[in-house]
Amino acid sequence: MRPSIMKRLFRRVASTAVLGLLAATLSTTTAAQPAAAAGGLQQVTGFGSNPGNLQMYAYTPAGLPANAPLVVALHGCTQTANAYYTNSGWPKFADKWGFAVVFPQTTSANNSLSCFGWFDPAEDTRGKGEAASIVQMVEYAKQSYGSDGRRVYVTGLSAGGGMTADLLAAYPDVFAGGSVASGLPAQCATSQAAASGCQTGPQKLTPAQWGDKVRGAYPGYTGPWPRVAIWQGTSDYTVYPANATALRDQWTDVWGIGQTPSSTDTLPGNTTRSVYDDASGSPAVETYSVSGMGHGLPVSPGSGDQQCGSTAAYFLATICSTYYTGVFWGLDGGTPGGGGGQLPAPAGVTVTGTTAATASLSWNAVEGAASYEVRRNGTKIASPTATTYTDTNLTAGTAYRYTVAAVDGSGTAGAASAQVTATTTGGSTPAQCYTATNYAHVTAGRAHTTGGYVYANGSNQNMGLYNVFVTHVLKESPAGYFVIADSGCTG
């Protein structure tokens, strides 16, 4: 459909706040009706106060074990929970891998074409409306199904994808990961009037500005952040591919990593996967660009291990996005994101001493850890069983950055700790001074981010928010050790 016709359709339905999915067929599609329980899909009532006036449907496989993961799957405009259950492929992998799936449903009582309110602060922010109702469903699942609160994930298509991004931003303490299919960046629009502009081309913001929208959704939160998969067709003219770029910029910035992929590969369905690793070398953000695909959720009907779903309106036969998303999250029993397993990050990581050639570390024990993984400057260097380690053969007067992760009995490494910096003694490097924004200091390797704030490498002095608006002078002495020197920098 030509863009001019699409714009007229958007104007025609603007008063109904339908700004997410099916823009090309709004003139012929009727509003969604409540889904009837189909097969194993069951409606759940009484899950909470339900401020967002949503309906809850759930699929729980037979023999679901205690402490199994939970997936929340959000439909697009004019769709139903039943349609998403039937066509997305999630029930297949729930049976195969053992997890529950909650399918929230909005109706025409909320929006004339049953769109989740990804553009409405009364619906998509912490403690408000539909977002709060969805979190109540998560709490119900934890209590009723025994779902593991550490392994709760959310995914959605189009308007459901926009709500997914908003939920990840507003509730990073609830969701360990997310997957946004043909969706929008978190808080791209905060009004109905701004929504269509996001769909056709989101604001041209820097990664730090996109990241600030996430950090502002739950002020004071310091992590850990959800791992995010982003699915997008290159020929999507309902939610344009620029949204996938903005999503990538947003979530890599939140993680404090760059926008250059750590690796890329080719998958079925003319799909290119780009992986963005965190500081410990584990994938934190992945983008999946499906060449030639329009607006919809990628599925791949068939009985193969990596196939799923069925074709229908806006379920497009290309690749089983559900399979790859589940593997990224670790639902198959593997390590989430290729890293960051179930054990929590060790607390209390401290540099206990340095010499010209050594750096000693200690940390608090993690229950269930068989050993620990120590990384220096992102590279694994040791696997001690004790909660102390001394790194040797280092260079004098040099700063080294360390993280520690707990490893379970199967050899799976958990989440990495906060980074600490140890500077060996000795050396005589003259002091150097650098004046730049916080964003530029991080990019240049003079500082690092934690929880949306910037800290000087070496001294760990708090430099304020990670953005392009705050400027500091940093003094480097010895090499790799930086202190704030705004009042004057001398050698």
Active-site residue list: 158
Question: Which two structure tokens, joined as six digits, stand for 104?
Answer: 């929230």
Whole-angstrom distance, CA of residue 180 vs CA of residue 128? 21
Nearest to 477 by CA among 421, 429, 425, 420: 429
Phi, psi of 267 (to 5 degrees): -115, 175
Alpha carbon distance 271, 268 (integer Å): 6
Phi-psi region of 426 (alpha: psi -120 to 50; beta: other; left: phi over 0): left
b/e code 73-83 from CB counts within 10 Å (16+ = b) = bbbbbbbbbbb
DSSP-based three-state secondary structure for 51: coil
CA neighbor of 118 nearest in space, from 174, 179, 165, 175: 165
Q: How far is 312 from 243, CA to CA, in rounded Å? A: 24
Query: b/e per residue, 202-230, with b = 16+ CB within 10 A?
Result: beebebbbbbbbbbebeeebebbbbbbbb
Element (H, E) at 270: none
What's 188's DSSP letter?
Answer: S
Secondary structure class of 3 (helix, strand, coil): helix
Amino acid identity of residue 398, one-letter, is: T
Taking Cα atoms as reference points, which of 136, 306, 301, 157 lies closest to residue 229?
157
| β strands within 314-357, DSSP E | 315-317, 350-354
Euclidean distance between CA atoms 384 and 373, whole angstroms: 7
Calculated CA dihedral for residues 286, 292, 296, 297, nearest 10 degrees: -50
Please tell me whether the peptide bond between 478 and the residue prior to it is cis, using omega within 30 degrees of 0.
yes
By three-state DSSP, how is residue 193 classified? Answer: helix
What CA–CA distance (Å, rounded) separates 378 from 381? Answer: 9
Candidates 229, 61, 88; CA nearest to 147 is: 61
